[in-house]
Amino acid sequence: MAERKPIESWLTDMDGVLIHEGVPIPGADAFIKKLRESGRPFLVLTNNSIYTPRDLHARLSRMGLDVPVDHIWTSALATAQFLDDQRPGGTAYVIGEAGLTTALHDIGYVLTDHDPDYVVLGETRTYSFEAMTKAVRLINAGARFIATNPDETGPSTEGPLPATGAVAALITKATGQRPYFAGKPNPLMMRTGLNAIGAHSETSAMIGDRMDTDVLAGMEAGMQTFLVLTGLTTSDQVEKFPYRPSKIVDSIADLVDRI
């Protein structure tokens, strides 16, 4: 097997790697500080499309993690980039929050429920039956179906919440149309993120807490992958997957000295 090139750029998931239920994971602050001091390109990624990078910057700052706005990459930004490449200046009916609507506005999309080019589904805490019904009818009328990410549940302090993937399944059942998911594990999110910071997959690494999204997307994008055990995937679950991360570590604290 060919020896991997030294890591020059880092991509890391947010929930389960840097924070857990609104609390920084030990070592996260040292990791971000070391990255910033090194000058190496890096991105903090999230499949959650609710918040804008500015919102996330503020939330992380309150937790003591100083991540600049231009070092945050969301599934909403990846979705907007994809749509801008596919159909510049298009129209969309959107179910989602400010993170998604702002990203689409920023690329010049018009948000409308009148004969849109796309129905775009993202994360929200207020999924409505009326909005889902509108989405079903627009897709049946010819709108293309896009979703920010396939996560079926999301975390909360009270327990799992239905997420984009679960609502997408409902709409698919009603229309027979499966969405194109722009977020992880689609390696498109990794590649657009790498392009945003001028990095190359051969010299980049992805850190995540989920085998089925973070590690899979990083691997398929050609990066080295690190699985941390502070999130969803446990050590005894790793062997159930037909692929493996490049390395398994206990937490982000174990990677500070790798920078």
The phi, psi pair for 237, rounded to 5°, reads -90, -20
Length of the chain: 259
Per annotation, catalytic residue among 15, 117, 209, 214: 15
Tell me how far apart the alpha carbons of residues 19 and 193 are, in angstroms, rounded to a whole number. 20
Catalytic-residue membership of 15: yes
CB 197 within 8 A of CB 190: no
Contacts of 139 (CB under 8 A, 6+ apart): 119, 145, 171, 175, 177
For 54, the token pair is 């500015």
Catalytic-residue membership of 13: yes
Whether the bond into 185 is cis, omega within 30 of 0 = yes
Per annotation, catalytic residue among 13, 29, 209, 214: 13
Tell me how far apart the alpha carbons of residues 18 and 10 are, in angstroms, rounded to a whole number. 13
Q: Which active-site residues does the annotation give?
A: 13, 15
